[in-house]
Structure 1
Amino acid sequence: MRIVRYHAFGPAEVLRVEKAEVPRPGPGDVLVRVEAVGVDQADVQRRRGEHPVSLPVLPACPSADVVGYVEEVGPGLPAARVGERVVVWKARNAYADYVTAPLHRTVPVPAGLSAGQGTVVGSTGRVALQVVDTGRLRAGESVLVHGAAGAVGHMALQIAKARGAHPVIATAGSPQKRDFARSLGADIAVDYGETDWPGQIREALGGRGVDVILDGVGGDLLHSDVRLLEPYGRLVFYGASGSPTARPTLSFLDVLGMKYVTGFSMATLLEHRPDLAESGTRRLLEAVGSGSVRPVVAAEVPLADAAHAHDLVEARTSCGRVVLVP
């Protein structure tokens, strides 16, 4: 089979297509024939050697959300699972024709979704739902979603809208992305690259601040976020897609006025509250199955051209998720 690896950190060209043996499923594992693989900003950051939390041991193949069919089961699993169409969330060595994964890291693909859309139901959609949960968003509250046209952001926007948030405010860096966010339900869309974007939002809200802010971009946005919060407002920081090497700091003085700042980590949630992670997955599948939340695929790129897929993500011009297809 084919697998995409990189042997050094650097530009997209370090990604190489190599030959490898088809992996064998161990006890409790399934072998999945890959239909689509999600490509995330974190994959790009790790390839560049710039991820703010962890870097892989080289040579490396990204871990990513995968959709495909179960081809074989390992010891301890019923043969009846063969043929099922599943999403594997954060499969190891994911840029490949086949992957293995523990059965508990799979969920069924909701009916009616394409393979590419199905990848969004993996870790990306789960993060989107959980950051909304972490913000304790209530119906009628205002919510600001940064990077609202991205893989996580476009899902978080829709989830917030489905829960009755109003108004839903989106930030995005181009007119095309802002139109995309509006098409998914954003009531207000602004360019966070403009220096007065917080003022534009306050003006649209009649001088008020925002109740809940979901920030996966980071960097200097965090300071503006805190100032923009309404008293008793909540800021959830869950990523640094915009500034992976930046280390912004907040003073205790920044949160005077009853402002709450928290971080979100899926790994921490899985370790300490697996019950919340499991219920979140069920609710995500229900939302996607009902049509209230719609995953969007920005582009499908052949597996052999993984470097191009990374270029698309780095260019920040895509609306929705970029996926690889064998």
Structure 2
Amino acid sequence: MRRVRYYEYGGPEVLTAEDVDQPVPQAGQVLLRAEAIGVNFVDTRFRSGPGSGSIFHRPLPGRPTGDVVGTVTRVGPGVEPQLVGRRVAALAEDAYADYVVAEALWLAAVPDHLDAGDASMLAMSAPVALRILRAAQLNPGDTVLIHAAAGGIGHLAVQFAKFLGAGTVIGTARSSSKLDFVRAVGADVAIDYAQPDWPDQVRAAAPGGVDIVLDAVGGTILQSSLDLLAPFGRAVVYGAATGELEQIPVVKLFALRSVTGFNLTAWRHASPDQARHEMDEIADLFAAGRLRTTVHAGLPLTQAATAHELIETRSHTGRILLLPDARST
């Protein structure tokens, strides 16, 4: 089978396709024949190496993670044999491959007829998008500011915010085409956060402040966002794409503001039953057509470098997929 790894840090060109034996699932694991692999921003930072920021350090060889959609072909010890033949989705390591090992406990069952783009969101992106809003304790009528709203998680967070009853949803992105996309998925206001006056534009749209901020950008974006919170406003930080781990001045919280961090693995460990329930809830919403995923590009597995280039140039909207069965052109 084919697998893509990297053996040195650097640009997308370090991603290396190689022929290897199929992996063997261990206890609690399954082997998936991959149909599609959702590519995530964070792996471009891991590939770039520690220079991207201390939070992005991973040892070599690099085993990219991804949101894998596939069919169970084999199970490890302790896993129900009935899973063989089922179409599922999973967040997995060493994901850029024809066959991928995944943990059986967090497989997401894929509803019948769901396409690969939607299915790729079931295991990680959609659960994060829903839970960060619930962690923010969204109330009906709240004003929500969502950064990077054109991305894989962001464009789902916009939809979830509306579904959960938000009053005004403000989405930020870069470039006019991305702003159009953010509006198309449901945002009431779209703002280019590359513009220096973006906080003033948010204030114009929400004169009383915003109730919720969802941020995975970090750096100065997070610092400015805290100043935009209304009294009792809540910020949820679930990443730091800039690699900058900001110190949050306590004085900013004295204005009746709060900041919560979120990590999917920690959430699953702390509340596994609720995390599983939400995965099922999300699958039902996709099956009913109440959520939708935009796939920007579907590329052959051997074009993983191109997928990373698209992400790093921030030229995509929605999801980028690697398709093992697609032919390179």
Query: What TM-score, normalized to structure 1?
Result: 0.95
Which residue in the other structure is 2:327 paired with?
none
**1-side partners of 2:72 and 2:66: how far apart?**
17
| Alpha carbons 2:89, 2:122 under 8 Å: kept | yes
Which residue in the other structure is 2:60 paired with?
58
Which residue in the other structure is 2:266 paired with?
268
Q: Helix, strand or coil: the match of 1:220?
A: helix
Bigger shift: residues 145-154 or 280-289: 280-289
Pairing of 1:1-326 with structure 2 (within 5 A): 1-49=1-49, 50=52, 52-89=54-91, 91-205=92-206, 207-241=207-241, 243-244=242-243, 246-326=244-324
Q: How many residues align?
A: 322
RMSD over aligned Cα, in angstroms? 1.4
Any idea what the Cα deviations from partners look like across 1:184-238, whole Å, max 9, x if unmatched?
A: 1100111111111121122122x21000110111110111111100000101111
Task: Tell me how far 1:14 sits from its aligned partner.
Answer: 0.4
Task: Tell me how far 1:56 sits from its aligned partner.
Answer: 2.3
Counterpart residue type for residue 311 of structure 1 = E
Bigger shift: residues 142-151 or 276-285: 276-285
Task: Tell me how far 1:22 sits from its aligned partner.
Answer: 0.6
Counterpart residue type for residue 35 of structure 1 = E
Counterpart residue type for residue 259 of structure 1 = R
Counterpart residue type for residue 111 of structure 2 = P
**2-side partners of 1:289 and 1:136: how far apart?**
25
| Alpha carbons 1:237, 1:263 under 8 Å: kept | yes
Q: Which runs of 5+ in 2 are unaligned?
A: 325-329
Counterpart residue type for residue 34 of structure 1 = A
**2-side partners of 1:324 and 1:296: how far apart?**
14
% same residue = 42
Counterpart residue type for residue 28 of structure 1 = G
Bigger shift: residues 277-286 or 215-224: 277-286
| Alpha carbons 1:116, 1:300 under 8 Å: kept | no
Query: What TM-score, normalized to structure 2?
Result: 0.94
**2-side partners of 1:42 and 1:52: how far apart?**
13
Task: Tell me how far 1:248 sits from its aligned partner.
Answer: 2.0
| Alpha carbons 1:142, 1:210 under 8 Å: kept | yes
| Alpha carbons 1:269, 1:276 under 8 Å: kept | no
